[in-house]
């Protein structure tokens, strides 16, 4: 008996008594009349639920949820058993496999499941009940790094594009730096804010050399916090699984739910997951994401199905009604994140559902062969690529820097590219559009417009705002067939500032306009030529190369 004592100490809280929880799901096709089973255990029963021989499981090569008491009947709360399984797997470096065709019911109990080894959810279904949640901020699954972050107190400042920082580290690390004394992203409009602390992320090697694919993008005159998170070099693989969220019915306000899978580890591949949402009612709180990638490097989400969330309204910071963003995927302080061959369950052009994705403080985000309603960069992205994809009613919304590439892609939004006006419509860098189709679902009396945004030059966003310095458009078809016949031909730029109509206009915070545009092989359904803008004065100095 003594040889099992370490396991008992590790999992002393693993299998606990389960209170009755109403669960309408017997399986993936649920019945509302399902009765709830209970699982009562004492210490002896808990011992019996634990593996008796670690060597046996190492010989098998994996551990399963049933080994720790998960029934998988879609009725009994399985969260404790699932958490215990992964704790054991993490301790002994064992992969985890879910039961074939099992259905695991997960209640609103706060018990994050920490994943640090390969996990095969396989053909199993997971029903996540968000109607009665203990802590809406807590994720259900946390894919966690193997090492803690390291504080770097000796660095007091950084410069934009600095090549090296003065540190010696045990290995390559993801650096996160913050200056709370400088505010960026001072948002304007109905969701106005006082800004967020200046933040950047980048990769360095053990000697402090900055990876030039992740350059430092800001000058930091002062640093209030800086840390280094060691990068797990071996890829962790998570495969399969069919997840269904029973949506919360909480008050419609900005209490963002995080009830899903959060990845806080570098070098992760999530493959073949499906996520569905059911029972969205007349009210509900928004979701941060079902799949979140935070403080991570090199993460791929592939062959995955997501679901757009229903749009609810609340009162914004300016005192007027606003629609609340609610997402199924979110990247926060993440570098090299790719969504490959991903789609969503609902219509990408249905405005009833909010856009599928958002990001902040991230670098090098890629869509490739995706059919999704939206790409969005809230608080900036450095370099982004949308390749071989189809985007729906919310299209491409971005601010940031570097190169924004859109290639072999069809876009159905109101604008081909929307530079977010609430953050200054800023893109400090280059925009490349190649072999694309722009086909808005609705026409416009003022004509179809390719690049949208707005900046009056009167608001301080916390940084200088730029339009893309250079724009290249190579082979683009504009389907403007839904515009009224009397509408002018399509325009390259929307009217970014209707008040700027002559030289007398003064900007307190100047908006730096595009210098040059290169256009080749642009065709329109109407046969009308591409114009510069409905505000030609504003763009009179832009050099156009045909």
How far is Cα 22 from Cα 232, in angstroms, rounded to an integer? 40
Percent residues over pLDDT 70 in the chain:
90
Tokens of 50: 């634990």
Q: Give dist(CA 155, CA 177) in Å, integer.
A: 10
The pLDDT value recorded for residue 54 is: 86
pLDDT of 489-526, one tens digit each? Answer: 999 999 999 999 999 999 999 999 999 999 999 999 99
| Cβ atoms within 10 Å, residue 137 | 12
Angle 251-354-79 (CA atoms, 0-180°, nearest 5)? 60
Q: CA-CA distance, 428 to 382, in Å (whole number)?
A: 9
In a domain, 427, yes or no: yes
Nearest CA to 133 among 51, 255, 302, 262?
255
Region of residue 9 (left: phi > 0; alpha: psi -120 to 50; beta: else): alpha
Q: Are 461 and 424 in contact (CB under 8 A)?
A: yes
Structure tokens at 448: 């179809």
pLDDT band at 140 (very low <50, low <70, confident <90, very high): very high
Task: With respect to residue 162, please indicate whether it lies within any of the assigned structural domains.
Answer: yes
Query: What is the C-alpha radius of gyration for the chain, rounded to an integer number of angstroms?
Result: 25
Range of the domain at 201: 151-230
Per the domain annotation, does 489 fall within a domain? yes
Same domain? 119 vs 162:
no
Is residue 45 scored above 80 in pLDDT?
no
pLDDT tens across 184-196, in order? 999 999 899 999 9
Domain's final residue, options 230, 248, 265: 230
Q: What is the pLDDT of residue 283?
A: 95
CA distance 427 to 398: 8
Tokens of 64: 């399963």
Is the pLDDT reported for residue 201 higher than 80?
yes
Euclidean distance between CA atoms 494 and 478, whole angstroms: 15
Banded model confidence at residue 5, pLDDT cuts 50, 70, 90: very low
- 75 and 24 both lie in a single domain: yes
Tokens for 417?
């590219």
pLDDT digits (tens, 9 = 90+) for 400-443: 999 999 999 999 999 999 999 999 999 999 999 999 999 999 99
Query: Where is the domain boundary, 230, 255, 286?
Result: 230
Residue 514 CA to residue 179 CA, distance in Å, equals 30
Same domain, yes or no: 156 and 118: no
- Indicate whether 200 belongs to any domain: yes
- The mean per-residue pLDDT over the stretch 342-356 comes to 96
pLDDT at 13 over 70: no
Phi, psi for residue 88 in degrees, rounded to 5: -65, -45
Give me 103's structure tokens: 């259905």
State the Cα–Cα distance between residues 225 and 228, nearest whole angstrom: 11
The answer to whether the CB of 259 falls within 8 A of the CB of 284 is: no
Q: Does a structural domain hold residue 260?
A: no
Tokens read off for 481? 């067939």
DSSP class of residue 287?
Answer: B
Which contiguous run of DSSP H or E holds residue 150?
Answer: strand 150-151
Considering the domain boundaries, does residue 255 fall inside one? no
Q: What is the mean pLDDT of the chain?
A: 91
Is pLDDT larger for residue 317 or for residue 434? 434
pLDDT at residue 99 is higher than 70:
yes
Within 357-473, residue ranges assigned H as helices are none
What pLDDT was estimated at residue 316?
A: 87
Quickly state the pLDDT bin for 317 (edges 50, 70, 90).
confident
Q: What mean pLDDT is predicted for residues 380-395? A: 98
Position 363 in a domain = no
Of 44-48, 348-352, 392-396, 521-525, the poorest mean pLDDT is in: 44-48
In this structure, the chain runs to a length of 546
Please answer whether residues 305 and 346 qualify as being in contact, where contact means their C-beta atoms are separated by less than 8 angstroms: no
CA distances from 333 to 209, 224, 237, 387 (A): 19, 17, 21, 22
Beta bridge partners of residue 438, listed in sequence order: 411, 478
The CA distance from 407 to 387, in Å, is: 5
Does 77 fall in a domain? Answer: yes
Q: What is the pLDDT of residue 51?
A: 53
The DSSP H or E segment spanning 87 is: helix 79-92
Dihedral of CA atoms 179, 183, 185, 189 in degrees, nearest 10, equals 160
Q: What does the alpha-carbon distance between residue 371 and residue 389 come to, in Å, rounded to a whole number?
A: 6
Q: For the chain, what is the domain count?
A: 3
Taking Cα atoms as reference points, which of 199, 20, 9 lies closest to residue 107?
20
CA 328, 333, 337 angle in degrees (round to 5)?
A: 60
Q: Tell me the C-alpha distance between 25 and 133, whole Å.
A: 17
Q: For 469-488, write each residue's pLDDT tens digit.
A: 999 999 999 999 999 999 99
Asked whether residue 105 falls in the same domain as residue 167, the answer is no
Residue that is last in its domain, among 129, 161, 178: 129
Q: What pLDDT is recorded for position 216?
A: 98
107 and 174 both lie in a single domain: no
Asked whether residue 487 falls in the same domain as residue 425, the answer is: yes
């Amino acid at each position: 008996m003594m040889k099992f004592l370490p396991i008992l100490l590790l999992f002393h809280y693993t299998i606990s008594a389960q209170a009755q929880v109403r669960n309408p799901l017997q399986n993936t096709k649920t019945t509302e009349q399902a009765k709830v089973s209970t699982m009562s255990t004492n210490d002896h029963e808990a011992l019996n639920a634990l593996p008796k021989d670690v060597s046996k499981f190492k010989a098998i090569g994996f551990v399963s949820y049933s080994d720790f008491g998960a029934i998988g009947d879609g009725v009994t709360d399985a969260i404790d058993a699932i958490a215990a399984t992964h704790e054991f797997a993490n301790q002994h470096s064992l992969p985890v496999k879910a039961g074939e065709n099992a259905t695991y019911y997960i209640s609103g109990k706060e018990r994050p499941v920490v994943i640090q080894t390969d996990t095969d959810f396989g053909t199993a279904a997971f029903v996540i009940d968000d109607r009665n949640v203990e802590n809406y901020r807590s994720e259900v699954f946390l894919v966690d790094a193997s090492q803690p972050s390291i504080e770097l107190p000796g660095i007091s400042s950084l410069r934009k594009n600095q090549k090296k920082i003065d540190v010696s580290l045990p290995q390559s690390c993801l650096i996160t730096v913050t200056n709370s004394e400088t505010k960026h992203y001072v948002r304007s409009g109905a969701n106005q804010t006082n800004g967020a602390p200046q933040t950047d992320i980048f990769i360095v090697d053990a000697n402090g050399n900055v990876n030039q694919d992740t350059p430092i993008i800001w000058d930091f005159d002062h640093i209030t916090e800086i840390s280094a998170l060691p990068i797990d070099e071996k890829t962790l693989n998570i495969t399969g699984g069919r997840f269904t969220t029973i949506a919360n019915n909480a008050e419609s306000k900005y209490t963002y739910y995080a009830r899903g899978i959060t990845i806080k580890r570098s070098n992760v591949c999530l493959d073949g997951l499906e996520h569905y949402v059911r029972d969205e009612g007349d009210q509900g709180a928004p979701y941060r994401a079902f799949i979140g990638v935070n403080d991570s490097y090199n993460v791929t989400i592939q062959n995955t199905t997501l679901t757009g969330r229903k749009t609810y309204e609340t009162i914004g910071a300016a005192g007027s009604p606003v629609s609340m963003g609610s997402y199924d995927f979110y990247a926060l302080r993440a570098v090299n994140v790719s969504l490959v061959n991903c789609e969503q369950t609902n219509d990408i052009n249905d405005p009833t559902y909010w856009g599928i994705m958002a990001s902040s403080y991230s670098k090098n985000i890629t869509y490739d062969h995706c059919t999704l309603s939206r790409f969005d960069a809230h608080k900036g992205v450095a370099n982004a690529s949308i390749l071989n994809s189809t985007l729906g009613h919310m299209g491409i919304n971005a601010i940031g820097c570097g190169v924004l590439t859109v290639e072999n892609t069809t876009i159905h939004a109101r604008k081909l590219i929307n530079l977010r006006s609430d953050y200054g419509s800023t893109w400090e860098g280059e925009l490349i559009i190649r072999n694309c189709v722009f086909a808005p679902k609705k026409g416009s009396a003022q004509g179809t417009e390719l690049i949208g945004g707005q900046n009056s030059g009167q608001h301080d966003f916390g940084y200088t705002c730029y339009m893309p310095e250079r724009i290249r458009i190579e082979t683009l078809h504009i389907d403007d067939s839904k515009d009224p016949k009397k509408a002018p031909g399509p325009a390259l730029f929307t009217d970014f500032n209707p008040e700027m109509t002559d030289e007398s206009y003064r900007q307190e915070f100047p908006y730096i306009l595009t210098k040059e545009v290169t256009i080749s092989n642009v065709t329109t359904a109407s046969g009308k030529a591409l114009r510069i803008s409905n505000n030609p004065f504003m763009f009179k100095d832009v050099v156009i190369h045909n």
